[in-house]
Structure 1
Amino acid sequence: MKHTFLPIALSAVLLAAPAPALLAQANAINGTLRGTITDAAGAPVPGATVTIKNLNNGFTRELTTNDDGRYVAPDLPLGDYTVTANAPSFAPLTQAGIHLDAGTDLSLNETLKAGSVATTVEVSADAPLLEVTRTDLGRTISSVETQNLPLTSRNPYNFILFQPGVTGHPNAENGVPRTLNTNGLVDRVNYQLDGMVDTESDRYGLRLFAISDSYTDTVQTISNGFNPEFGNTAGIIYNVITPAGTNNLHGAVQYIWRPKAASSCPMGQNCVPGTAGYQPKPNLHVDDLVGRLGGPVVRNRFFLFGAYEHLKRGNPQANTVTLANQAALIALGVPASDFNTAPQVQRAQWVDVRGDFILNSKNNGFVRYNYFRNNYPFNTNVGGQFLLSAESDFQDRAHIIGAQLVSTLTPNLLNEFRGSWPYRNQQHFAGSATGPGPMITISGVVSGFGGTNAAGDKYQEKIPSFNDNISLNRGAHAFKFGVSFQKNNDTQLADVYTQYTFPTLAAYAAAKNGTNRFSYSTIAASIGKPGAGYQTVFFGFFAQDTWALTQKLSATYGVRYDQYRAPNGIANAPLAETRSFRVPMANFAPRLGLAYNAQPGLVLRLSGGLYYEATPTNSYYNPLYSNGLTNTGNLITSLTPSSGVAFPGTFSAANQAQFPTPTPYALTSRFKNEYTWNVDAQVEQQLAKGDSLRIGYVLSNGRNLQFLRNSNLINPTSFLADGRPVYSTAVNANTRANPAFNAISYIDIGNNSSYHALIAAYNHRFSAGLTSSANFAWSHAIDNTPEGNTYEFSNFIEDPSNPRRDRGNSSINRPIGFNTSTVYQPTTHFANKYVRGLFNDNNFALLVNATSGDQQNLVTGTLLNNDPRSGGQQRPLFVARNTLRTPKIVQADLRYTRTFVTIAERVKPQIFVEANNLLNRSNFTTINTNATVNAAGVITGQPSLLPVSSVLEARILQFGARIDF
């Protein structure tokens, strides 16, 4: 499909556009103020002086209205403003109470009266002043919300769930939310910090580094219809804005504590002593200390803000090996202490230091440094049937440098530069309790002891990046041009281990005692080079214009181009696809948005265009790492006793002739970047001074999505009753396209998706002590195959000859999604100060997330078609993909804060309590969907559909004390 007409048309419009007025578009992390100055009769006032002043830091910009009385001020620092208009023969008029958040584009018109007496008008800026030129779908989560909403996880990424059209599950730790539905795709999120890179490059939807709530000021979210200046995702933008110092000293000290007694028994666990399957309730204690401080170094010139958080969180994992098996293993020499509860205690630290500066009236910006450290002993292979000697520890480090400079070249020409250099290094390694190896697994008895198979892996990424944007206001047009660049420097290492699997305790005893060193079922080990290092380069540019067609109608249109440069291949790789990688060159994405201010308080919006997704770099890493060459890629190879390896020996004694035929990865030689084409229609109505309602329809169709298939199977020997081919298990020239390999894990493209949603969004901006947002979506998401290269759903298709056999509900299809966030601080006016104090200074904050349950596959563990790559995800005959669903999810979180007294008008000591899953609802996200089938694939036993596990938590309470000043 070619997309040539729209870019040509857009270019023609850009060249032919007239120039009678000023206009600008929303900025990525800054704000815009615009308006028209008129006289009492409604006539424009040209040549009026408009002075815009930031009350937090003294930043001032002065403009002159054009012949139509218009002015526009893009790229303004965030904060509180006044706007003053002056003109000869008119009285000056000042509007106060104006607040700018990230990406805010406010229209503030002023009517001047004849005379000389100055007037000040207080603007209720926290009411939903409709952004009449905005065409995207999203919202800004204010600092009132980020600093007051319940967040027992201490993870601000969970706020991504509270915007229009997004569903998923929060993360109890510092990672990203789970199974996100983003325009019908899995986990497509462009994570940013102050408009700079915070997205891990290897798989879809992973954040690069953890952030702290201590330095989360506001969150800009855009879920659809964003302008050409935004790229590298077909899903949503999630941009965290850090606080800045101001002319006033401000800060907070906070401590949060969670005792063991305040947590309920985890979902699915039996915490009743003396009953079958009893496990003691884990001690999910938390100790969290936060400090933040901001203020001036040189008043109106230089400001500092700093924040620090230290989090200690317990997550002990009980051992579930039966007492009888424990006794048998102890008799075989396993220490009794190996069965103790794994003492998981995470220790994380965050540091944020930001310096804002105003060099002069033409140049302002900031420099920021962040540090993250996470030590997590007993992180992997702990609890359940793992013994302590199978554990591995985890360590995560990140350093981030970021900077922005905004320069006013002329009153109508501005330059906005941002650059960052994030570095992250995470790894698993042997801990204090880890055995020397090899790791021992006994089927049905114990998952592992004696050593670990989860140590040695490493992920290291550096992403130097920058983007530079130029804004040019000319007449009725606000042009914006920009370029972006990032270089991904990646190193990935895999685990190195040896693991024996025994069928029974007796078989292990025979090997341990030396009576039969070959009594194991299999031995698995890693051989060769354990990983790969590689570099990729992402760059792009865009051109866009916001055009005031009339006083009521504006259009934002333009085109974006992105290119994702692949690393070098392996010249002597057995598979031609791995010798070099194709770089798509035609990633042009035209976009158009229209906004019509039909009448005061009513805006109609329509947008559409193409949105390209950045290449997940595991598309290259997997073929480089698992390339089919001996000793150049790390192979996890499983051998039987016939290999000649005697317990507890390693592969050094193995008969290499017994090594199984390898299964490499390959990336299709016709690779193209995935994209979506979207249509978004909205109606937004201001209901009252502080309320607005937005209703819309979203259509998003994905193209060129990745999927995984086995490309090496040929000549089926038979067919199942539903048409699926059955292949031979033998490996030769008649059964394999390339007989040097058993399977070839082929990363292919061509999966298409379709997403339809009706959206309703209600907002009440802060007034009468209340801030509230509620979002509802009724949607359906389908796709042709499971998605590849996501970290949650990278399953192979079940019929390698026919991908469309997997067409069905997407893994993240949730037809109903509702979320709401509310912060309420009531204010009363009782005459008695004690009564007034009792009812005032209370703050209630509520989060509610209610969705349909998660889609699940009805599967069988039987390998019906003999494809070794589709494994346990094969379905019985005539069963479509994702036909089952877990129970609905309903979770309510609450935080109550009490301020005791205000000292010296600014120091506020507080206590608070916050609850996760207040009603203690059992929200299971996985159920048993395993059916039994006969040899023909016909169901002989239905799945139980009983709850299995959950990524969500039972009720948790934690308590805190805080001093704001």
Structure 2
Amino acid sequence: MSRSPSFAQLGRGLFLSFVLVTFAAPAAFSQTSTGSIRGYVKDASGAPLGGAAIEARNEQSGVSRTTNSQPDGSYALPGLVPGAYNLTTRHIGHTAQGRRVAVQIGASLLVDFALQAGAVEVAGVTVQAAAPTVETRTSEIATNVSAQQIQNLPTPSRNFLDLAALAPGVTVSPDFVNLGANNITARTFTSGAQGPAEVNVFVDGASLKNDLTGNGASGVAGQDASRGNPFPRNAIQEYRVITQNFKAEYQNASSAIITATTKSGGSVWSGDAFVTYENKDLVALDSITIAKMAKDTNVKKPDYTRYLLGGSVGGPLIRDKLFFFGSYEGNYQNRANIVNITPPPTGTFDSLDAVGLKNFNGNITSPFRETLLFGKLTYNKGSHSTAELSVSNRHETDVRDFGGGIAFQSAINYRNNMLTSVLKYNYFSGAWLDEASVTYTNFKRNPSPNTPGLAHRTFGASPSKNNNNFGGADIGSNLSDQDFTQKGIGLRNNVTYTGFHGGGDHVIKAGATANFLTFDINKANNDTPQFFYDDTVNAGQSNCGCAGPLAYNYRVPYQVQFATGDPLVNAHNAQIGAFLQDDWSPSSRLTLNLGIRWDFETHMFNYDYVTPDTVRNVFRQYNNDPTFLPAPIDTAEYFTDGTQRHKFYGAYQPRLGFSYALDNENKTTLFGGWGLYYDRSFFDVSVDEKLKLRRPLWTVYFADPDSAVRPGQVRWDGRYLTNPAALDSLVTTGQTGGKEVWLIGNHTKAPHSGQWNVGVRHAFGDVSVSAAYVGVRGYDGFVLYWANITWKNFGTPTSQCCTFLGNQHGFSNIIVSSNAVKTWYDALQVQIVRPYKRVGNWGWGGGLTFTSGQRSVQGNDNADDELAFPQPQFIVKHPTNDEKSRVVANWIVDLPFAYGIQFSGLMTLGSGPRYDVGGRFSPNSWVPGGFSPPQYPFIIPGAWAYRDVDLTLTKDFPQFGRGTLSVRVDVFNVFNFQNFTYGGTPTPTGLLSDGRRVQIGTDFSF
């Protein structure tokens, strides 16, 4: 809805005030890619010690940060680079103390000191070893993924997003091999009931948000249709998955976020290199494929090889001042798809014999190539400031989407190119911390025909002659050529102040962001003409206006579809944000997290779009005609003269949280929170509002060679197949179909969610256990629907889908936008974490998460669907991906009495999502979520529909010099469990994972 001028002025005023506060200060950084240490310094009796000197020295770089305790004994060291620190405290008249602590990304570590009276020590302080870091005093629902887990846990493709599954409520799409080249599972993650578009990932504070494409496919740039990795894993030091109650400094996500920090060079040169290998002999076939092979000897196990390789190196360029780190990873795959076209026997159709369809058959390679590069310079200016410059680059090609009846000619080459550069500067003085960054991003998504310049021919199946088994075929170039480029420059500035102590201790943080984006789009869909052939064609397919069917016998096409017109769109967008948050501790036990965020965009949609007169005139005459539309369109909402679309100034997002320690040792903590979180809709959705009219999809009908040309048809001419100019001339004859109209609402809202949680957390020594209830409600999800298609007698015993109104007066379809999508998520989440700890020659660590939840959606079939057929009001609230129970366990163990061997694993067990019985297009027999899949034993009898256990064995050989060589064997789905999908009956319809896979590799480090 539109906002009054007062709201607009308030939003502008809030932003300007933050600009004055933050940009007037020294330059600073953005999102939390750092951690902090807080605590109290007291004497042996518990009295506070003010003026104590606290120093945190980074073990890797040698960089130190210092501060002094306040009169109440409190101290704070925000903005610390994650890693191991030697933390020391000194106070006149007391014996100094030292501890070794691990600072985690996004975490606030509570470290208290009780100093004993004693003489002033001049000698160095002995640093005491500390237990693994366990964060108890946070209101967030967050999971930290450590460097040990990233390095040692089994993941099939080295995608660092895979381990986000360690967080309760998070699901990561699998890395499939058996799906083949024409069925690619995009590597994405989701949380709760929302789709993958609502997440966000921050690497060193730079957002990898997909602001342009995908509306439901992925919120991470480059992942909406890719099997690749967004970032080199060997450059990631650690990351944090926050699924609930993340603070006001994070933006553009109404679901979960991941914030990661990259590695830096240290005071000693070090590095590593690795290579792993898989092939088809190391991958077990699933039972569905085995059954197909038993029935059809033409079904073969496709060829497959994959190499994952890479290396990294880091160290000092100038001792204690300038450090370098660089990494490379490559993902090189050759999968094969079998093209198996079985044309009718020779002589059945002379025209098909001339095409030579069998010549397109074969076991054909589908190559995937990905190169990931990262480089970083870190400059330690002194004890008060540091600077970083990093550059990452991703280059990816993927030739795919062929096989079966689709020839290799029709393959698409899916290119991904991503460039990110970040310049950061941090300044720390007394109670002030300034963090600033300038970010440049260039994300390019370019799927295009692998073999361009050929007309596409689609041959329909032929059941009419000699009972042949011809199942159809496609040859010629892929239909579409697309190029989406999202470029941006981001300015961010955060200021943290710890010197205010009114009513307790405060960590006050304020920040402002400004991202200037450019969208360049080439959306040449259906640029390749598609000619349709068949043996017999009904009257509707040929537009003959006759009784039909007609015997075309593949001699000529019965229709062709192609698009003409300008496919280019260019736009600029500015994303402005500001936040203020206060971590207020009225006492040493209670911390309140109080924050508010505001976001605004200048061009989230086509605000200056003008509805063409051609559209206005048709609706003016026929809007109330029931043969045109079942119900009239609100033209005041969907028509605009360029001034009626109002920019949304109301994205105010309060975020509140608390944590309360029940004991003085902070072992048991109650926590909870509530907040509003806005995402954004994707600009690509509104692009079609222009392109569908400017670049329509034409349909030309060709007459049967044995019949006269009827109205609405043209006579076939062989030039149409090879001469684009001859084909384009048909557009001017009027013998073509109509244009499609897309209508985007003037008051389209940004999707957002309300989130809340309450729970308890307890530390049993090194082990942290937490249990929490979480709730999420998603609002204003964006969806498109068909206004010219409706339901017959919806809500009555005679309900039936659907009524298609074809009298569109020159238009083929009327597509309308809606904010009708809602989601629900309620869950109990239990988490047990024991960070890896090494004592002597062995160590271990592990974790377990249990999620029991319910997920529902209303307004579309799935949370990530862009289209709701036929209209969202006919899609009632129903379960979606509604798995009742899921358990994820992980472990890393140095095997005792087996020198140099480490055993690690990842286990995922799920009760399986509920499936619908029947279909919603037959509502009288439709039972949403009425079928629970069969469950099988593992540890617990008859409990799991999904079972997966991945194991890794690593053997380190004795060191030679500074070098260490190791070999590694990964076994994914070690028990070869068959994880099926279902269609509402006990008969499996597909797969959720591969069978057993074995991967072998070697590592070298120094």
The answer to whether residue 838 in structure 2 is matched with residue 809 in structure 1 is: no
Report matched runs for 1:777-788 at 5 Å.
777-786=851-860
- Cα 1:293–1:454 change in 2 (3 A) is farther
Deviation of 1:516 after TM superposition, in Å, equals 7.6
For 2:109, the equivalent position in structure 1 comes to 106
For 1:282, the equivalent position in structure 2 comes to 302
For 1:554, the equivalent position in structure 2 comes to 591
For 1:962, the equivalent position in structure 2 comes to 1003
Give per-residue Cα distances to partners, 1:193-232, cap 9 Å, x unaligned. Answer: 2221112113243321421222222121100111111121
CA RMSD of superposed structures (Å):
3.3
Give per-residue Cα distances to partners, 1:702-736, cap 9 Å, x unaligned. Answer: 2222233223468x88668446587764545xxx7
Distance, in Å, in 1 between the alignment partners of 2:680 and 2:849 is 28
The answer to whether residue 965 in structure 2 is matched with residue 947 in structure 1 is: no
Distance, in Å, in 2 between the alignment partners of 1:325 and 1:137 is 64
For 1:833, the equivalent position in structure 2 comes to none
The answer to whether residue 513 in structure 2 is matched with residue 484 in structure 1 is: yes
For 2:149, the equivalent position in structure 1 comes to 145
Amino acid in structure 2 at the alignment position of 1:786: N
The answer to whether residue 464 in structure 2 is matched with residue 425 in structure 1 is: no
Q: Could you say what secondary structure the match of 1:609 adopts?
A: strand
For 1:499, the equivalent position in structure 2 comes to 530
Distance, in Å, in 2 between the alignment partners of 1:222 and 1:91 is 39
The answer to whether residue 700 in structure 2 is matched with residue 622 in structure 1 is: no
Amino acid in structure 1 at the alignment position of 2:953: Y
CA contact (8 A) 2:192 2:855 kept: no
The answer to whether residue 783 in structure 2 is matched with residue 711 in structure 1 is: no
For 1:261, the equivalent position in structure 2 comes to 281
- Cα 1:516–1:109 change in 2 (3 A) is closer
Deviation of 1:808 after TM superposition, in Å, equals 2.7
Distance, in Å, in 2 between the alignment partners of 1:553 and 1:720 is 52
Distance, in Å, in 2 between the alignment partners of 1:740 and 1:319 is 40
Distance, in Å, in 2 between the alignment partners of 1:529 and 1:852 is 50
The answer to whether residue 32 in structure 2 is matched with residue 31 in structure 1 is: no
Deviation of 1:494 after TM superposition, in Å, equals 3.1
CA contact (8 A) 1:783 1:808 kept: yes
For 1:865, the equivalent position in structure 2 comes to none
Distance, in Å, in 1 between the alignment partners of 2:795 and 2:90 is 82
Amino acid in structure 1 at the alignment position of 2:948: Q
Distance, in Å, in 1 between the alignment partners of 2:61 and 2:341 is 62
For 1:661, the equivalent position in structure 2 comes to 738
For 1:793, the equivalent position in structure 2 comes to 865
Distance, in Å, in 2 between the alignment partners of 1:126 and 1:175 is 41
Report matched runs for 1:105-254 at 5 Å.
105-116=108-119, 117=121, 120=125, 125=130, 127-132=132-137, 134-172=138-176, 176-178=186-188, 180-185=190-195, 187-201=197-211, 202=213, 203-204=215-216, 205-209=218-222, 210-254=230-274
For 1:652, the equivalent position in structure 2 comes to 729
The answer to whether residue 965 in structure 2 is matched with residue 909 in structure 1 is: yes
1:356 paired residue among 375, 378, 381: 378
Give per-residue Cα distances to partners, 1:254-305, cap 9 Å, x unaligned. Answer: 1111133111125632388775355221222112221110111112111101
CA contact (8 A) 1:681 1:698 kept: yes
- Cα 1:655–1:810 change in 2 (3 A) is farther
Distance, in Å, in 1 between the alignment partners of 2:608 and 2:917 is 39
2:822 paired residue among 752, 770, 778: 752
1:895 paired residue among 941, 952, 973: 952
Distance, in Å, in 1 between the alignment partners of 2:412 and 2:186 is 22
CA contact (8 A) 1:184 1:813 kept: no
Q: Could you say what secondary structure the match of 1:84 adopts?
A: strand
Amino acid in structure 1 at the alignment position of 2:369: R
The answer to whether residue 910 in structure 2 is matched with residue 851 in structure 1 is: yes
CA contact (8 A) 1:255 1:287 kept: yes
Amino acid in structure 2 at the alignment position of 1:879: W
Deviation of 1:470 after TM superposition, in Å, equals 0.7
Deviation of 1:128 after TM superposition, in Å, equals 4.4
- Cα 1:754–1:546 change in 2 (3 A) is same
- Cα 1:76–1:181 change in 2 (3 A) is closer
Deviation of 1:820 after TM superposition, in Å, equals 1.9
CA contact (8 A) 2:536 2:552 kept: no
Give per-residue Cα distances to partners, 1:544-593, cap 9 Å, x unaligned. Answer: 10111111011010211111332444335336546544322111111110
The answer to whether residue 422 in structure 2 is matched with residue 402 in structure 1 is: yes
Amino acid in structure 2 at the alignment position of 1:765: P
TM-score for both structures, normalised by structure 1 = 0.85
For 2:926, the equivalent position in structure 1 comes to 879
CA contact (8 A) 2:657 2:673 kept: yes
CA contact (8 A) 1:184 1:810 kept: no
Q: Could you say what secondary structure the match of 1:621 adopts?
A: helix
Amino acid in structure 2 at the alignment position of 1:494: A
Distance, in Å, in 1 between the alignment partners of 2:289 and 2:557 is 33
Amino acid in structure 2 at the alignment position of 1:696: A
CA contact (8 A) 1:171 1:951 kept: no
CA contact (8 A) 1:176 1:206 kept: no
Distance, in Å, in 2 between the alignment partners of 1:326 and 1:776 is 60
- Cα 1:878–1:172 change in 2 (3 A) is closer
Deviates more, 1:40-49 or 1:887-896: 887-896
Distance, in Å, in 1 between the alignment partners of 2:82 and 2:457 is 55
Distance, in Å, in 2 between the alignment partners of 1:400 and 1:254 is 25
Deviation of 1:79 after TM superposition, in Å, equals 1.6
CA contact (8 A) 2:495 2:511 kept: yes
- Cα 1:740–1:142 change in 2 (3 A) is same
Distance, in Å, in 2 between the alignment partners of 1:885 and 1:519 is 49
Distance, in Å, in 1 between the alignment partners of 2:793 and 2:292 is 53
1:824 paired residue among 859, 876, 893: 893
Distance, in Å, in 2 between the alignment partners of 1:278 and 1:855 is 35
- Cα 1:454–1:673 change in 2 (3 A) is same
- Cα 1:634–1:217 change in 2 (3 A) is farther
Q: Could you say what secondary structure the match of 1:244 adopts?
A: coil
Amino acid in structure 2 at the alignment position of 1:594: F
For 2:622, the equivalent position in structure 1 comes to none
Deviation of 1:353 after TM superposition, in Å, equals 0.6
For 1:582, the equivalent position in structure 2 comes to 646
Report matched runs for 1:537-552 at 5 Å.
537-552=574-589
Deviation of 1:517 after TM superposition, in Å, equals 8.2
1:591 paired residue among 638, 655, 674: 655
- Cα 1:325–1:699 change in 2 (3 A) is farther
For 2:697, the equivalent position in structure 1 comes to 635
Q: Could you say what secondary structure the match of 1:103 adopts?
A: coil
Amino acid in structure 1 at the alignment position of 2:610: A
Deviates more, 1:754-763 or 1:197-206: 197-206
Deviation of 1:760 after TM superposition, in Å, equals 0.3
Give per-residue Cα distances to partners, 1:399-445, cap 9 Å, x unaligned. Answer: 2211221112x31111111232121223233335x672233232364
For 2:709, the equivalent position in structure 1 comes to none
- Cα 1:810–1:376 change in 2 (3 A) is same
- Cα 1:523–1:217 change in 2 (3 A) is same
For 1:835, the equivalent position in structure 2 comes to none
Distance, in Å, in 2 between the alignment partners of 1:326 and 1:58 is 78
Amino acid in structure 2 at the alignment position of 1:903: F
CA contact (8 A) 2:30 2:494 kept: no
Gaps of 5+ in 1: 15-24, 509-513, 829-838, 861-872, 930-943
Q: Could you say what secondary structure the match of 2:338 adopts?
A: coil
Deviation of 1:160 after TM superposition, in Å, equals 2.0
Amino acid in structure 2 at the alignment position of 1:103: G
